[in-house]
Structure 1
Amino acid sequence: MPEIDSLSDLIPVFGRMHPLLLHLPIGMLVGLALLEIGNAIGRKPAASTFLVFFGAVTAAAAAASGLVLHEEPGYVESRVLELHEQLGLATAVCALVVFLLRAFGATTMYRWALLITVGVMIPTGHFGAEMVHGKNFLLEPLEQEEEPAPTVPTPSVEDGPTLASYEQHVVRFFQAKCNECHGDRKVKGGLRMDSPEALLAGGDGGPAIEEGVAPEDQELLYRMLLPIDDDDHMPPDHKAQPNEAEIELIRAWLLAGAPFDAEFELAEGAELPVTEAEPPASETGAQAQAPRAVPEAVLDSMRERLVHVQPVREGSNLLWVDFAAPASQVDDAMVRELLTPVVDWIADLSLARTQVTDTSLELIAVMPQLERLDLRGTAVTTAGLQQLVDHPHLRELVVSRTKLDDAATSALQRLPALEHLWIWDAGLSAEAIEGLRAALPEVVIDAGDLGDSAMLETEEKPEFTSDAPPVDAPSEAEIAAAEALAQKPTINQVCLVSGKEIDPQFNLEHNGQVIGFCCPNCPKTFLADPDKFLAKLESSDG
């Protein structure tokens, strides 16, 4: 029996009741709506107040349990989760309003509010199902089922054994069949399968890969071999299932010790599964795993907020996103709002001189394609930088003029793909920087002490064809007139426009009177409405 030391221990249990509680308001509110439609047509009284109260209470309980469940690990922030949560709260609020209208006898308004509540509840349920079962769960049965992937003919004996590798074959199988529920956006059972480190870490049920254990007894393959109607079978029965070639690929990989870097042999007679077209040879790493094109509407919403966004290169779906234009207004909330929908597409991100803090690093850390990050001039600290540890593709990092300290060196040493680091004026001591260079000899570390670049070319001194002055330069006569005017007494001691002390070089002659001003802009303002300012002078004299 589990031990309960305090009532707070029951809070997570309440959160896990969310799948049970959420069905109660759905049944109650939809049933009430149908009942009230019949009552309205038959001109009958409204439903019992108690039923309406029960519907409101269950809606509130479902929303509250969902918020508690959200706090558990395994729920990565996403736009779908955010919409589901917001609409769930809206449903609970609407249900409460429905109860209050019914309690006060406002029957007509109550019935309309009930219909609105059901309308809000429908997309809430849709996004919830998409979170649990994947995108397009509702209409997936209507789509034409894809034929099993063809296989590549096995090479002849003369060609030697068929070889496969994790990068070219296994990782693509995981992307196609596993990562939707075990990736960076959703982590079912605490297991991620989108990187070697995550696979080795295992999940809530223990390790996914075990050394010295037969492939069929390892969790990874064992679940694939279970009958499809078994509750523990993976992938779930409503998802695309692995074909024989794919199962043999995983079996051979596990039998070889699950190598991530070396090739391994398939069993005799086994065939390689055909995957999607190979990426261009010039694209590796994150670029080789580029997602489909980002919806144009999402890009338009970012551009409306003055965020610069464009492909990192022609023909690529990956994005360069730069917040330079609205930098002074950019905070953590704005970053989360605009970048969550494109988290899978960002390869180059600049947040330089924005108002972001360590909070934004939580989202940035789960950007699977990120290769370059500019955080210069922000309030990011060592604690925030820790969240980037072990990022697989981050090659260039700019943290100049941030709030780091010497402890940041440990996090920087755990960026496996790092090639170039800009770290001047970031709070690190000279000793820490030298230690970092010694630990990362292959990384170019610019701390502002690399010296000037070599001069490539100089331009010859220009030769002018004449000594003519610039077109807008005043003539000698104009200069002499201005000097004479500056010597004349003025009718005022302070500027008529600003009230500041006058400067003789900005004197102006108007209707035979010399008027003094404090700057070159005030005479322009005066000439736009001279009577207004002269009246001010006369009133002060009076």
Structure 2
Amino acid sequence: MDILSQLLGRLHPLIVHLPIGFLILGVLLYWTDRKTKQYTGLLSTLFLWAGIVSVLACISGFLLYQNEGYGFDTVKGHLWFGIITAVFCFALYLKWKSDSIAVLQKVSFPIMMVLGLVLISITGHKGGNITHGEGYLTEPLPRGVKKALGIPVFEELPIALTEESWENADLYAEVVHPILNNKCVSCHGPKQAKGELRLHHMDDILSGGENGEVIMAQNPDGSELFTRVISPKDTDGHMPPKEKEQLTKEEVAVLKAWIEAGHPFDGSIASHGLDESLFEPFFPKDVEDFYPEATLSPLPLDSLRTVKETGLHVEYLSKDSPWLRVTAINKPGFSLTDTLALTPINDFIVELDLSHTEINDSIYPYLGHLPNLTVLNLGQTEVTDQGIEELSHLSHLKHLNLTRTGITSNLFEKLENFPSLQKVYVFGASLPSDGPKEVSKGLDVDYGGYTLPRIASDSIIY
């Protein structure tokens, strides 16, 4: 019985579109038939079926709510408007079919049709908010327009750490809270609480959701808040939903360290003994000299969203910069055909990480069409130095990672013509150990393989 209940519930996204189709078809048919009245019987049948499938949609929606962990506060608006819409569809049927209900005969049919469209619009909008998050339809609007319409504007919280001040920064207030606010609160906050979980305030985090506590001190693997973040992206339990912006690996590392430290809500980073390396990725970077001067117009939101949907991770270098960092860390099957998805953002890419993917030398012609590419990582792929000349005209390319690839000693001669290249990483490649440390003036070769000298304390047993 439980299996049948879950199956019927999951049919809701399919069934819910049927009453919309019947109502809209009825409106169009009424408008075209208002003079000849040839389809009177068909109209009444359409509205009857609109009511029947609306009831089915309400039942399947209720089953979905029961089985999928939605809180009642999340679904109640959509549920009640769905029930009202179902009742209204039967009212349309009776209005058209019968002359016995005096109250209905007093209402103009066109007015009822408009009211029906308003009801399905509101019901659909509230359903969209459940599926895609609050404000899904209004999210692309400019901030000024949102404020003018009275729509709350979501404010991202920056993580303002510096090399000089990171130790004194409050671990929760200045690092963990911004991460949760920027990546989780849109679905688990004051306006929406999926799974009856809110993460915008300390008390709500400790209270947990409908399944109980989501965080266990010093136990990340036992904390649902953490395990859902690191679960495979395509599984039902992964959070945030795959269509939303994901936590970066640096943010995940901080979240884990915070839980291991006992998830404190006060105290500085230094007071909890956390290492600086966890927070270095959040330090401000001087991009003015290293990266090209930003002269491009802002990137359309649809272009960025389309790329993210392919499984690639895309992020801005900074809040005020148009430049993008793209990595295939979550898409090891990335190959030449996948570059088609990047075409709309080619001019914006300054950092590209295709390491550990399935690319080969055929990727070079595409890379040669990224005019602002500055940092390129091709490590642990099938590329060689055959065709690498395709990159020689990239005037901004400064760092090139070719670790554990099939490059040969011919590489160094080819790199001499790269105008801005400063460093090339070749650790793990089949190159002579006594190869050049500097290809040309300003271009260094990093062979890796670093070792640390032993010191006396290494042999001390504590």
TM more than 0.5: no
Q: How does the TM-score come out when normalised to structure 2?
A: 0.44
Q: Name which one, 1 or 2, has greater alpha-carbon Rg.
A: 1
